[in-house]
Structure 1
Amino acid sequence: MSASVGVPGSEDRFHTDNRIWHRTDTIDYVVVVQGSPILHLEDRDIALKPLDAVVQRGTMHAWSNPTEETAVLACTLVDAKPIENLRQRTS
C-alpha cells in the first residue's frame, strides 16, 4: 500500500507496522524539543530524548511516539539533489 503525506520529492510507503516510511530529496536537521520519539531506519531504531539532534539525507525512515507525552521536533529541511543523481555523476 502506498501513501502520500504531501512532502515534495518524497517517496512514501506503509510497511506492515503502519508507520509511514519515507525518503525526501532534502538534508533534514531535526532537534527533539520534548518527548521521546523513535527514529526508525531500515536497519535499526533509535530512541531519542530532548536535545538530541539528527541530520540525515535521503534516508528511508519513519517516526513513532511510543509514549503518551507529546513529542515536539524542530525540523529544518534543506533542498538537496537526489542521491541517485549524485551516484550517476560520480560513476
Structure 2
Amino acid sequence: MNQQQNSFRRIVTGHDAEGKAIIISDAPPTHTQLVGGPGGPTFFEVWHTQATPALIQPQPDEADEKSLVLPPPKNGTRIRVIEFPPEGEEIRRLTGADAAAKFRAMGDEKASTSAAGAPHPLMHKTETVDYGIVLEGEMTLVLDRGETVIKAGDIIIQNGTNHAWANRSGKICRMAFVLIDGHFAS
C-alpha cells in the first residue's frame, strides 16, 4: 500500500504573539508507523492532549440535553456531525447582532466574536480543543490571519482559536467534530 496515496492533511491552529488565530502547520501527520510489516496497518498519529479524564460508565446512556449546546460539558467532550450548506449572501450580510443570535440558538451566544472588519461574520471562539474531520465535500477554514481550503479526509486541530467555517464550494460539506473542554494557558 502506498502511504503517500492515502495521506491526508493535518491543519493545526494556534495564536501568534498578538493573540490572533493563525495556522501553525498544514501538512500530513509527521508520525506514521507501519505495524506488523507489509500488509499490516499504518497508524497516523494525528494529535493528542495530556489530560482529560473521562468517567467511563458500564452502561452509558444518552446525555440529558433538551437543546443544542455548542461547547462540550465542563471537563467533558462532545462529538457531532454537521452538514454545512453552501454559503449564500444572507450569511455574508449578517450583522454582529444577527451572528450573536445564531450562536444563541446553538446554546453559546458568548462564543460569537463577530465585529466590524472581521474576516467572516460568523467568527467565534470557544475554550476548547476541537478535532474537525471533513467527511465529504470541502470547506474554507477562516482565521483572524489566513484561511485554507480543506477537503474530505483533512483533519483540523482547533486550539481555542477564533475562526469561522465558510462553505464556498457550492455543495454540501459534512464534517465530524470532537470537542474537548479546555482552558487557556496564561
Query: Shorter-chain TM-score category?
Result: 0.7 to 0.9
Matched, 1:13 2:113: yes
- With normalisation by structure 1, the TM-score equals 0.79
Residue matched to 1:45: 147
Other structure's SS at 2:132 match: strand
Mapped contact 2:112–2:122 kept (Cα < 8 A): yes
Kindly indicate which of the two structures has a greater share of residues assigned to strand. Answer: 1
How far has the Cα of 1:72 moved from its partner? Answer: 0.4
1:19: how far off?
A: 2.9
Which AA in structure 2 matches 1:19? P
Q: 1:10 to 1:77 in 2, by over 3 A?
A: farther
- How many residue pairs get matched? 84
**Post-superposition offset of 1:65:** 0.4
Give the CA RMSD over aligned residues. Answer: 2.0
Which digits, 9 at most, give the CA deviation of each residue in 1:7-51, with x for residues without a partner?
Answer: 548520334565310000111000001111000011101100100
Select the residue among 157, 168, 177 that pairs with 1:66: 168
Unpaired segments ≥5 residues, structure 2: 1-95
Higher alpha-carbon Rg: 2
Distance change (3 Å), C-alpha of 1:48 and 1:55 = same
Partner of 2:124: 22
Distance 1:22 1:61 in 2: 5
Letter in 2 for 1:80: G
Indicate if the aligned counterparts of 1:9 and 1:24 stay in contact, CA closer than 8 A.
no
